Amino acid sequence: MTSRFDELKSLNTHLKFHHIEGEAFRPFGKVLKGYDVSSLMDYVKEKTGIPEEGNVYIASVPEMESDPVKKDFQNDVYGEFPVQVGYCNGRNSNLNGLEFHKGSEINVAVTDMILLLGSVQDITEDRTYVSNNLSAFYLPEGTVIEMYGTTLHLAPCKTSDNGFKCIVVLPQGTNTELEEGSPKDPLLLMKNKWVLAHPDNKRMIDRGAHPGIRGENLEIYYR
C-alpha cells in the first residue's frame, strides 16, 4: 500500500522531496520527541479556522501560551528565553517567499503539511536566492520540529484541498511591527523577520519585502 509520503513524492518530481524524519533534514533542524502537544493541537483543531483564500498567522495566542508545553519548549529549546505561541493556517501551495529569524522556530503539524526549506548561506551578496536550491519536506500530522535560525522557510504548503494548520513557536516579539528598522538591510521586514519575496508575490512586495527570489515560484501538487 502506497504511503501518503510516497504518493506526494511521485507527484512532485520537480522538487527534492524528502520525509522530515530523513537525513536530509539534519542541516535545517531536528524532529523533537517527547513533548505533549495534544492540548495545543486540540485548540487549533477546534478553535481556529482556515481562510477561504491565502493564509492567516497569529503570532501570540494567550490560551495557547497557558499550556504547560510552552514552558518545556522555552526551557529546553530556547534556554529560558521568552517565547510566543501562535498558529498559521491556510491554503498555500506555492513558495511565494522565504524568511529567517535570529533564533529557532518550532512547528507542530496539526495537519499533514509540506515545508520548502533552504539555507541562509545560499543568499548571495546582492541579496538574491535561487529557488531551485530549496528542498521540500513532508510532515505528517503530529510532527514537532525545530528549525534552526539559518533555515529559510515561510508558510507551510497544503497536502489536500482542506488546507493546513500549524502551531508556531518563536522568540517573543518576532513578527511584530518594527519601531525603527535598518536602512542597511532591506531584508528586515518586521521584528526578527528577514524576508525575500518571489516577484509573483505582489502583496508581500507591496508591504515592503525585498523581491530577491530568482527562478520558479515552486508549487506543491497533490490529489
222 falls within a domain: no
Distance CA 21, CA 219 (A): 22
What single letter denotes the amino acid at residue 194? W
**pTM for the structure as a whole:** 0.97
Among 163, 14, 4, smallest CA distance to 87 is for 163
Q: What is the DSSP string of 119-133?
A: EGGGS-TTS-EEGGG
| 9 domain residue, yes or no | yes
- Residue for grid cell 484541498: 161
> What pLDDT is recorded for position 162?
97
| 223, part of any domain | no
- Measured in whole angstroms, how far is the alpha carbon of residue 203 from the centre of its chain? 18
Q: Return d(Cα 140, Cα 147) in angstroms, integer.
A: 16
Sequence-distant (6+) residues with CB within 8 A of 191 are 173, 174, 175, 176, 177, 178
* Rounded (5°) CA angle 191-73-188: 15
The string of pLDDT tens digits covering residues 180-195 is 988 999 999 999 999 9
The reply to whether 220 falls in a domain is no
**Which residues form the domain of 15?**
4-214
Residue 153 lies in a domain: yes
Residue 221 lies in a domain: no
CATH assignment at residue 59: 2.60.120.10
Ranges of the chain with pLDDT below 50: none
**What is the per-residue pLDDT for 170?**
98
Quote the pLDDT of residue 1: 67
Number of domains observed in the structure of the chain: 1
Is 35 in contact with 73 (CB distance < 8 Å)?
A: yes
Which pLDDT does position 2 carry in this prediction? 81
**Helix/strand/coil for 182:** coil
At 151-170, the pLDDT tens digits run 999 999 999 999 999 999 99
With respect to residue 52, please indicate whether it lies within any of the assigned structural domains.
Answer: yes
> What type of residue sits at position 94?
N
Determine, yes or no, domain membership for 219: no
Q: How confident is the model at residue 161, as a pLDDT? A: 97
Q: Which is nearest to 208 in space by CA: 181, 189, 192? A: 189
